[in-house]
């Protein structure tokens, strides 16, 4: 009996570590993407604005730590990660890279290469219903993490979760409209300069 319990205790941590590794992959997946993108010709306009990149990094790291914190908080954090991580990765492609054009456009810079972003904004508009549904799932999971963090007096996670929910709201009322507006503005600039607009249909798949 003693041997069986010892075996059980030694096997459980390995299973937990394996499950955590599967979940805590957001930072790793983003790092892998950066390595792949290094092999491509960089377009400075499509760089994620640095403050948003820092914010994405902080969200990933804080959530990964929360998932390892144990108790009901750890369980709630892992549930949030399941819905948040894929959303963040998609968001970087269609939304945050598009916002990288805000500064050059505000400085009256324009070139035909910027029109590549129209595939992203078109894809973003097509996905708006799906995005709102994902936000509902994220906020619901975040509320559960917030309640668990309050109950277990993990005050740093309370603050993080509140900031996360504020970020989702900011996405809806500021960042997504701004990205779509960038696309509409570029269409006008293309028409003004009679620049052919080419949209990669594969981006909609």
Question: Three-state secondary structure along the chain?
Answer: CHHHHHHHHHHHHHHHHHHHHHHCCHHHHHHHHHHHHHCCCCCHHHCCCHHHHHHHHHHHHHHHHHHCCCHHHHHHHHHHHHHHHHHHHHHHHHHHHHHCCHHHHHCCCCCHHHHHHHHHHHHHHHCHHHHHHHHHHHHHHHHHHHHHHHHCCCHHHHHHHHHHHHHHHHHHHHHHHHHHHHHHHHHHHHHHCCCCCCCCHHHHC
| pLDDT reported for residue 55 | 86
| pLDDT reported for residue 92 | 87
| pLDDT reported for residue 190 | 87
- Around Cβ 64, how many Cβ atoms within 10 Å? 20
Number of separate domains in the chain = 1
| pLDDT reported for residue 3 | 45
| pLDDT reported for residue 31 | 57
Per-residue model confidence as pLDDT tens for the chain (205 residues): 444 444 444 434 343 433 333 444 555 555 555 554 545 444 555 788 889 888 888 888 888 889 998 899 999 999 999 999 899 888 988 899 999 999 999 999 999 899 999 999 999 999 999 999 999 999 999 999 999 999 999 988 899 899 999 999 999 999 999 999 999 999 998 888 775 666 665 545 5
Q: Which residues contact 121 (CB under 8 A, 6 or more apart)?
A: 94, 98, 179, 180, 182, 183, 184, 186
| pLDDT reported for residue 44 | 52
CA distance 194 to 59: 42
CB 143 within 8 A of CB 83: no
Kindly state the tokens that stand for 169: 């709201």
| pLDDT reported for residue 30 | 56
| pLDDT reported for residue 79 | 95
The parent domain of residue 76 ranges over 2-204
């Amino acid at each position: 009996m003693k041997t069986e319990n010892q075996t059980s205790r030694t096997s459980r941590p390995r299973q937990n570590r394996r499950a955590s590794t599967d979940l805590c992959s957001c930072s790793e997946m983003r790092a892998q993407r950066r390595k792949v993108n290094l092999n491509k010709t960089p377009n400075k306009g499509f760089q994620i604005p640095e403050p948003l990149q820092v914010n994405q990094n902080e969200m990933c790291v804080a959530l990964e730590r929360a998932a390892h914190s144990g108790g009901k908080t750890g369980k709630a954090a892992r549930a949030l990660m399941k819905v948040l991580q894929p959303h963040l990765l998609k968001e970087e492609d269609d939304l945050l890279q598009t916002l990288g054009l805000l500064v050059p456009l505000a400085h009256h810079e324009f070139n035909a290469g910027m029109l590549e972003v129209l595939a992203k904004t078109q894809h973003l508009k097509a996905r708006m219903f799906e995005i709102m549904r994902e936000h509902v799932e994220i906020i619901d999971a975040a509320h559960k993490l917030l309640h668990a963090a309050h109950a277990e007096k993990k005050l740093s996670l309370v603050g993080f979760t509140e900031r996360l929910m504020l970020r989702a709201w900011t996405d809806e009322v500021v960042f997504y409209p701004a990205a779509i507006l960038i696309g509409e503005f570029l269409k006008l600039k293309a028409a003004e300069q009679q620049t052919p607009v080419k949209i990669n249909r594969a981006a909609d798949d």
